[in-house]
A and B are shown apart, each in its own frame.
Chain A
């Protein structure tokens, strides 16, 4: 699994992990993130159980797993949460696992002993120390009904989970950032049309993000958006017709 340092200011770092050449073919490619500040690490959507061995190995190149004190799950999907039992076992004692209040009882099916922090609908702050605070912000219904984006105002990075996700063929991978936005649309459009549920939620989220100072928009699948591509993404997503799975009802109505 490759790792990319996408931000560094002293011990305040964002590292993205992904584009794993050893990943089993049928498993969807994911990006995992770790944010560090003053010897404290926070994992964001650390990936499913199948990727756990390679992810731990890649992570250990960057930091020791026992400095991970926080693990944030944007939502409940298995590509996000299915390895929490294992993470809980290898990370720092007392590590906190954050997830929307509405998913806790479901994700506990993986590990009833895990300690979860309920994230309320309006979001919450996670203080990593060293003046770095991550802010969980609502992203409900995009696609999960209990879903969050995570904003780091100091690094100006917004981790968006499945929003901005793209299924990028291996031949197109290499850099972690989108190089040509228009060319990239083909890899994210089908995903957003189908997985994203609600135009109202999308409009609310886009309006919220436009009020933030974002230099990097980092999704959980595919490539990251940087600089002007962040605005390009918001413009594109803001005008997209979402929820196209509804057409499946037509034959029955």
Chain B
């Protein structure tokens, strides 16, 4: 109860449970970091894939006509590598945005707690009505700002989830390229061994990428759950949509 204060104002203010919000924000942040950590090898894997496609293209050139199909596959692989690199850059941006927004939520929480302490100190004074009104307004602005940051964090998470899907798509396509490569290898006569090595190496990379996406899936799911909890606690009303608590099933009555 020490951290929970009713900031009454003109009837538009509910309670914020700063301790639970801080806990939920901390959990969300931890899971987001786990997702980002899962993707930490993406750069290395996409670079491996790029180098492999270059080597395969050289081998296809040496194979002449019997390497034509493999060459087409390597070009397609390079397009996939480009998609992976774009996804990686977006993940890096999301990572720094997540840190910035998490810090903003913590800063707002700290300010909200101080405003609530101030409100309690003022309640002990007589004739403090105007100051209490100013405090209520400040509290509501801060709470709204924090709710906006929480919504932005959730949007970041959705974008991260979409990027995860992009990477999963690239993996599926890379897998089928590796299969086609193995088929082409069987038809490549004296170059069979060389192309088969390329196909097997590519399968290995596909496996590594798949493991990466799998290891991101668990924290991603947890992060999505945590973000729902956080939105409920912080009040999800965005500016222009009203500011009443309870949107998203708030816990203001705790």
Contacts and interface: CB of A to CB of B under 8 A. Distances in A.
B121 A90 contact: no
B interface SS class: helix
Contacts of A49: 114
Interface in A147-171: none
Nearest to A68: B134
Interface stretch (B57-65, B135-143, B205-213): B135-143
B19 interface: no
B142 A53 contact: no
Nearest to A110: B107
Contacts of B118: 52-53, 56-57, 86, 90
A1 to B, nearest CB: 9
Interface residues of A, number: 17
Interface residues of B, number: 19
A198 interface: no
A61 interface: yes
Contacts of A86: 111, 114-115, 118, 138
Given A49-B114, A90-B135, A56 B130 contact: no
A61 to B, nearest CB: 6
B131 interface: yes
Given A60-B131, A90-B138, A53 B117 contact: yes
A121 interface: no
Contacts of A57: 118, 121-122, 124-125, 128
B142 A89 contact: yes
A90 B132 CA distance: 9
B111 A85 contact: yes
Contact of B125 (A60, A66, A90): A60
Given A49-B114, A60-B125, A66 B130 contact: yes
Interface of B: 111, 114-115, 117-118, 120-122, 124-125, 127-128, 130-131, 134-135, 138, 141-142
Given A61-B125, A90-B131, 18 more contacts: A53-B114, A53-B117, A53-B118, A53-B120, A54-B121, A56-B118, A56-B121, A56-B131, A57-B121, A59-B131, A60-B122, A60-B127, A61-B127, A66-B130, A66-B131, A86-B111, A89-B142, A90-B118
Interface of A: 49, 52-54, 56-57, 59-61, 64-66, 85-86, 89-91
